[in-house]
């Protein structure tokens, strides 16, 4: 079982000609609201990929429909607490080129107590996986408790903040980073080559498996002396909002099924490529059948 200590947000999407500039008032030409948050996105992606995932989260009581959506997708929602405080939400601009800008309010996602975390982690079995992102509070404590319990930790430091550098990242078995996150963790300049980023990450975290996602430049896996490349798929993106989350969920589901790393990368990249051609966050995450069908066309 994989336990996802993750955020649940309501995403308010605005389609705009370009991302709003400072001091500018810009009219959007589409609006909708949907389930989001990196945690919820990754849980839903893993469930749609056929994985077994239990979500640990906190959600405003009036947003209970979001919990129902996760449950309908196959996510175990027994550990999602409905609370009276405001839930997390995001204001998302998506421009006509598929780029996005996001304003995030954490809300209930930042209300975890140490006692709640201890109870959740003690209920997990040693050898299970814990997945975490950087949208919930008490993250360092969660990583420490999970490691002490004998859980395998997968971490995605998104959104990247200065606090991430102080986390006990050496406790992680698997790290998912994009280019910007890798640059922040290693101190390398913007535009550093993938090989430089991977070398620096290995030097800092020699025992941790790393998956480096580079969008239209493909993805890399590294562990010790093993380094594997997943070429990019030629697609024209419409909306990249949940691309990284889709990749992570599909990768972990394939990993849970004990598939080779090459297959994990291929499934994850294919799912993300399908997703960026659709609008929305959870709405864009494909079903496993769609991914397998596209992969089958390449064989």
Of 125, 245, 290, 298, catalytic:
245
Q: Give the DSSP per-residue string, 10-37.
A: EEEEEE-SSPPPTT-----SEEEEEEE-
The three-state secondary structure class of 94 is strand
The C-alpha atoms of residue 207 and residue 169 are separated, in whole angstroms, by 10
What are the E-state strand segments in the chain?
2-5, 9-15, 30-36, 53-60, 80-83, 88-94, 100-105, 129-132, 152-155, 174-178, 209-213, 219-223, 226-230
- Let me know if 78 is a catalytic residue: no
CB atoms within 10 A of CB 15: 16
Q: Is-contact 28 14, C-beta < 8 A? A: yes
Cα Rg of the chain (Å, integer):
18
CB atoms within 10 A of CB 98: 16
252 contacts: CB under 8 Å, gap ≥ 6: 2, 42, 46, 51, 53, 129, 131, 154
- Bridge partners, 32 (sequence order): 13
Of 298, 211, 202, 206, nearest to 252 by C-alpha is 211
**Secondary structure element (H or E) that encloses residue 180, with its range:** helix 179-186
Sign of torsion over alpha carbons 185, 181, 225, 259: positive
Residues with a known catalytic role:
245
């Amino acid at each position: 079982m994989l336990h996802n200590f993750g955020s649940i947000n309501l995403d308010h999407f605005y389609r705009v000609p370009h991302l709003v500039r400072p001091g500018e008032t810009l009219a959007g030409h589409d609006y909708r609201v949907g389930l989001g948050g990196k945690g919820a996105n990754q849980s839903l992606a893993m469930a749609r990929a056929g994985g077994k995932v239990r979500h640990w989260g906190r959600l405003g009581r009036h947003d209970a429909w979001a919990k129902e959506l996760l449950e309908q997708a196959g996510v175990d929602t027994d550990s999602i607490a409905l609370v009276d405080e405001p839930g997390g939400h995001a204001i998302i601009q998506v421009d006509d080129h598929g780029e996005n800008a996001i304003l995030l309010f954490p809300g209930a996602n930042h209300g975890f107590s140490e006692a709640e975390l201890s109870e959740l982690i003690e209920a997990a079995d040693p050898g299970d996986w814990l997945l975490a992102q950087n949208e919930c509070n008490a993250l360092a404590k969660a990583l420490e408790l999970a490691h002490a319990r004998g859980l395998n930790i997968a971490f995605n430091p998104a959104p990247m903040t200065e606090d991430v550098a102080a986390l006990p990242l050496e406790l992680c078995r698997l790290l998912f980073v994009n280019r910007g996150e890798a640059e922040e963790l290693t101190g390398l300049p913007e535009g550093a080559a993938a090989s430089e980023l991977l070398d620096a990450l290995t030097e800092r975290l020699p025992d941790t498996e790393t998956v480096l996602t580079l969008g239209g430049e493909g993805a890399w896996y590294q562990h010790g002396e093993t380094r594997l490349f997943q070429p990019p798929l030629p697609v024209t993106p419409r909306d990249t909002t949940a691309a990284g989350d889709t990749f992570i969920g599909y990768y972990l589901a394939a990993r849970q099924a004990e598939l080779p790393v090459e297959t994990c990368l291929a499934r994850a990249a294919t799912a993300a490529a399908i997703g960026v051609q659709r609008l929305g966050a959870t709405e864009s995450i494909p079903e496993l059948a769609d991914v397998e069908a596209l992969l089958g066309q390449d064989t």
